């Protein structure tokens, strides 16, 4: 729940399971709203069915989601707190939207360059571009290589403009190094690692920490607040490989004991952002 927006989620072994669960919750929501003299805007209410392309494209029938006798429309994508989610979790729409915003910010930086100094350009980048690269990137870090490269080209362009290598092909790595910038995939890995620190140090919701377990060889340690490694699931599908339970645990286990057991989140972030420290979240 956020401000006047409420999102319900349900999962199941079948579409029918999810349908029954979500309709049960919607009935409870309707009852609660009525008891508190509030109303639900059904015009703005919609539902999104998330699954693999095979399962979604081979549905025998769509779920029948309703509030009372009024059916709720199904959508293929929706926006939740600034993140565009689609039914396949491909993040195509989200990357499309933020790419346009980032391109606009880079255009502003290009226009500023003749009139301001280097530090001002950096400030403009941090204000107009970087937030779009970073916002909720732990969630959509599972983007495919094509989308990953699309974003990286935008960061490369911004770096070349700021250091004055605008028309020099093949100079992106030099521009990033000159600015001491990590690549976007490395930045996203830092955000995922920070989330894993919160999870293992009791700083995240329990529903997240409950999906992780320590390895059998270190069960005499407490999962939270220790440097123990986590059990790594054995993924049988690409969906599981993209899950936080797999890629988050894999990234966490790749860190040294010293980094995993930093005394604070601030100290942890300083360690993983140190020069020469390279993280990969996949």
Length of the chain: 282
Give the pLDDT confidence score for residue 249 in this predicted structure. Answer: 93
* End-to-end Cα separation, the chain, in angstroms: 31
Give the pLDDT confidence score for residue 169 in this predicted structure. Answer: 65
Helix (H) or strand (E) holding 83: strand 83-86
The string of pLDDT tens digits covering residues 48-86 is 999 888 889 988 888 999 998 999 999 999 999 999 999
Helix (H) or strand (E) holding 145: helix 145-163
Mean pLDDT confidence for 143-167: 93
In the chain, where the domains are located = 15-75, 92-181, 187-272
């Amino acid at each position: 729940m956020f401000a006047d927006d409420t999102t319900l989620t349900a999962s199941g072994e079948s579409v029918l399971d999810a349908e029954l669960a979500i309709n049960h919750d919607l009935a409870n929501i309707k009852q609660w709203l009525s008891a508190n003299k509030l109303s639900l805007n059904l015009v703005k209410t919609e539902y999104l069915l998330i699954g693999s392309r095979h399962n979604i494209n081979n549905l025998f029938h769509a779920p029948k989601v309703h509030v009372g006798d009024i059916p709720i429309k199904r959508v293929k994508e929706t926006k939740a707190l600034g993140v565009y989610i689609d039914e396949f979790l491909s993040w195509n729409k989200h990357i499309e939207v933020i790419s346009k915003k980032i391109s606009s910010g880079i255009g502003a930086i290009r226009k500023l360059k003749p009139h301001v100094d280097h530090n001002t350009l950096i400030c403009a980048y941090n204000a107009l571009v970087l937030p779009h690269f970073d916002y909720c990137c732990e969630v959509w870090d599972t983007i495919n290589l094509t989308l990953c490269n699309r974003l990286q080209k935008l960061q490369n362009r911004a770096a070349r403009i700021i250091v004055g290598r605008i028309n020099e092909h093949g100079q992106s790595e030099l521009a990033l190094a000159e600015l001491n910038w990590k690549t976007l995939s490395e930045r996203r890995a830092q955000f995922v690692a920070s989330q894993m620190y919160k999870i293992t140090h009791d700083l995240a919701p329990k529903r997240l920490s409950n999906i992780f377990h320590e390895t059998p060889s270190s069960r005499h340690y407490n999962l939270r607040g220790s440097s123990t490694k986590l059990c790594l699931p054995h993924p049988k599908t690409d969906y599981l490989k993209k899950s936080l339970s797999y890629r988050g645990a894999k990234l966490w286990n790749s860190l040294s004991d010293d980094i995993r057991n930093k005394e604070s989140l601030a100290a942890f972030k300083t360690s993983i952002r140190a020069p020469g420290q390279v993280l990969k979240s996949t």
